[in-house]
Amino acid sequence: MQMRKIGPQGFNVSCLALGAMGYGELKDRDGLIAVLRAAVDRGVTLIDTAEVYGPWVNETLVGEALAPLRGRVRIATKFGWDIDQTTGEFRGALNSRPAQIRSAVEGSLRRLRVDRIDLIYQHRVDPDVPIEDVAGTVRDLIDQGKVAHFGLSEAGAATIARAHAVQPVTALQSEYSLWTREPDAEILPLLQRLGIGLISYSPLGKGFLTGKIDPAQAFEARDIRSRTPRFSPEARLANQALIDGLARIGARLGATPAQLALAWLLAKAPFIVPLFGTRSLTRLEENLGTARLTLSPADFADIDALSAAFPVQGARYPDDFLAYSGR
């Protein structure tokens, strides 16, 4: 597995990271633990979770799965939602007040079974709390040895710059893929200038860029794709042309659409680390096979041009979803 150094302090991680969120309920606990441990055995050194996944169910599972592998893997988690720190009740709003951050970090440390969180993100920008207060609170936690690195998620350029002036930001986690390229305009140039890494979530377009989702597929009600405009049957039918184009390039290179989508991100910039999710050992092997795929400049240009010119149909989130992008 190739390694990448991101952030001003040189956070060293594998070029591909695994997200433990998944879709729907955690129905197969043992299976997910097996996938997490297999990823580490195959060289993945960054596993991503969040206190809101459950809440707390996912962090607890990640802590259990990775306890025997401590020292071989780094864990990223997130704060920023209004979660009762005694009961775990999710109250459906943002909360990045300093007291909430400190309490959330203490809970994450216990659930993850670690003495220090390797990378902590503000999950979404809270418009009611100045980002300087958030960054200052994380800086204090770093000084106390409870956190190693600070990250932001779905933050805009101005917010990133303001936070970075208080506490250096190691990584931004935002959606970036062949069908979600909004960060190209402002975010990528800023990250490059400040030396901040991009952990690109949904690099496979919530599964669509694998080429394994067709217009007739149904999603469970709990699955956000069931109400995401980009995953309506009509949008999937229109967006299939992007998959067809990837398949043609992949046939020439002996690679799957998923591998091309990940390889494009790796070739795009040396500070990008794609963060994919899977419950399947087969899909894990397929995705990690990307690390052995090197795109020529011409192949990269073909994929990049296909993506840049493609008119993606449908918004990436439902209107009522709390994305808080671009703040």
Catalytic residues: 53
Q: To 5 degrees, how large is the angle CA 322–CA 218–CA 62?
A: 55
Return the structure tokens found at 165: 């002036």
Run of H or E including 248: helix 233-253
- Measured CA to CA, the distance from residue 114 to residue 116 in angstroms comes to 6
Q: Would you call 101 helix, strand, or coil by DSSP?
A: helix
| Gyration radius from the chain CA atoms | 19
Amino acid at 166: V
Of 281, 286, 240, whose CA–CA distance to 263 is shortest? 286
Q: How many residues belong to the chain?
A: 327
- Measured CA to CA, the distance from residue 24 to residue 22 in angstroms comes to 7
- Measured CA to CA, the distance from residue 46 to residue 294 in angstroms comes to 21
Report CA torsion sign: 179, 180, 186, 189. Answer: negative
- Measured CA to CA, the distance from residue 200 to residue 171 in angstroms comes to 10
* HSE-CB of 235 using CA atoms within 13 angstroms: 16
Report CA torsion sign: 149, 48, 215, 260. Answer: positive
- Measured CA to CA, the distance from residue 78 to residue 53 in angstroms comes to 10
Q: Is-contact 63 113, C-beta < 8 A?
A: yes
Of 80, 52, 50, whose CA–CA distance to 63 is shortest? 50
